[in-house]
A and B are shown apart, each in its own frame.
Chain A
């Protein structure tokens, strides 16, 4: 079976975000970029699935040359091939999904993994949009996955519990933390990944329908009061919560 993983290249979660001079995007200077944390679970699940069921794996990303760093990381973890769908301009979610759907069709991948969300724009929908464009089944926010022949049983996280979902291939699965424990790239894997060629092609054209007007910092919360250093402050805290904040 052909298995694809779609990944994004995002600012490290420890990064302080500075708004760029266009007031529409972040200032990338001094920002360290990493593999989107949820995509690591997607890569691991693709590798595990291949180990169990056989087949071939391919990692795909849409964006700039810099994304190759993240593709290389996936190759180092053990993914067979990598494709960069090049576009130097930012796309909206549907634009990204269209480019990915096109390439997944090209690759004839029957099973596709995504992270459940990119920790940059946090839309958490690229997997679902891509599935709908392809007419594939889709289960999002998956924490447990079983594949038996054509049949898929997945558990997805919901408020206060999990849903057990039954569906079938071809399918897109979006990975939530807890699905697996991503492996570290071995030295051998890292060396081998350096020799691999990342295939580059232009991302399928798409019109933007979402227009960004402005990016801004959230209003800063003013630091409040330290009421004390031991339990004698508790009575005052409870009074304030009740009378001033009115939250209890």
Chain B
């Protein structure tokens, strides 16, 4: 029997997340290169359309189902994933580096005796090794490492591994129940920030900084974000001034992001900020000061008054989109 790779697919509100599909696709590629078999695991209460994970290369998925598992429980989820990994004798496990994956993967790694690497942005097979590249110092440097233990756990940064083409295939689903759920830690409630997209997951981010002069002007950023379907981000200066919540902070003491498009508005580009967003695919900067460091990494810039340029940009995009 071939060796196995196990990928954990995360559901929220009964839907498997896009970052999990990215992870499945990347795991599939590694599995074919190493000539390993790929299996998937998911945990929840009701999950829609599990068969469709076949599109992303998953042929077999095991669904651990219990109404008590609808929300995340670190103790129960870790136990289930680790027990299943042992049962099928999986050597390599992949998780998305999401809030859940970041919490869960280290528990599982200890339970199965695996070495662990988090937040990988690229994986290369070299002989029998997987060389993982991960950003360190919030992206100021990259580090290539490998895990030398037999069992290995990797988490992959969302929005970096392309899903690419999908096949029209369905996965075989096996539903299993769980005895003796370990619910020592459990989520009892989820408080959503009203319909807001999170910067860590968004494909487009519009971020505002001190150039906006005050929290009352952030509606300009929100309006542009809204027409672009983007998440709202903020610089550390804007967060430290109390204008925006820390959950929106991009940079070294906030979130490190890699969206397709990052629009920096009134952000000069301190080194901590640049570290957190410079791996974005396209960067637009709008700032009055033409010498601001942000322009040194921006693909397109407008060195002008944001209070004039921003509303005009929002209008123009509305026009193009309609």
Contacts and interface: CB of A to CB of B under 8 A. Distances in A.
B99 A157 contact: yes
Interface in B226-277: 228, 245-247, 249, 252-254, 256, 260-261, 270-272
Interface string A89-120: 00011100000000000000000000000011
A164 B192 CA distance: 11
Contact of B75 (A137, A208, A210): A137
A93 B301 CA distance: 40
B65 interface: no
Given A17-B137, A218-B139, A159 B185 contact: no
B192 A160 contact: yes
B227 to A, nearest CB: 9
B298 A211 contact: no
Interface in B198-223: 198, 200-201, 204
Interface residues of B, number: 94
Chain A interface mostly: mixed
Interface stretch (B25-33, B172-180, B282-290): B282-290
A14 B74 CA distance: 35
Given A228-B304, A242-B320, A218 B299 contact: no
Contact of B71 (A137, A141, A163, A218): A163
B159 to A, nearest CB: 12
A63 to B, nearest CB: 16
Contacts, number: 265
Contact of A245 (B135, B184, B279, B299): B299
B188 A166 contact: yes
A94 B299 CA distance: 40
30 contacts: A13-B138, A26-B137, A38-B253, A94-B110, A128-B107, A138-B107, A139-B74, A161-B191, A161-B192, A163-B72, A164-B190, A167-B184, A167-B186, A210-B145, A210-B148, A212-B143, A213-B144, A214-B143, A218-B135, A221-B283, A224-B298, A227-B301, A230-B305, A234-B309, A235-B316, A238-B313, A241-B282, A242-B320, A245-B281, A247-B260
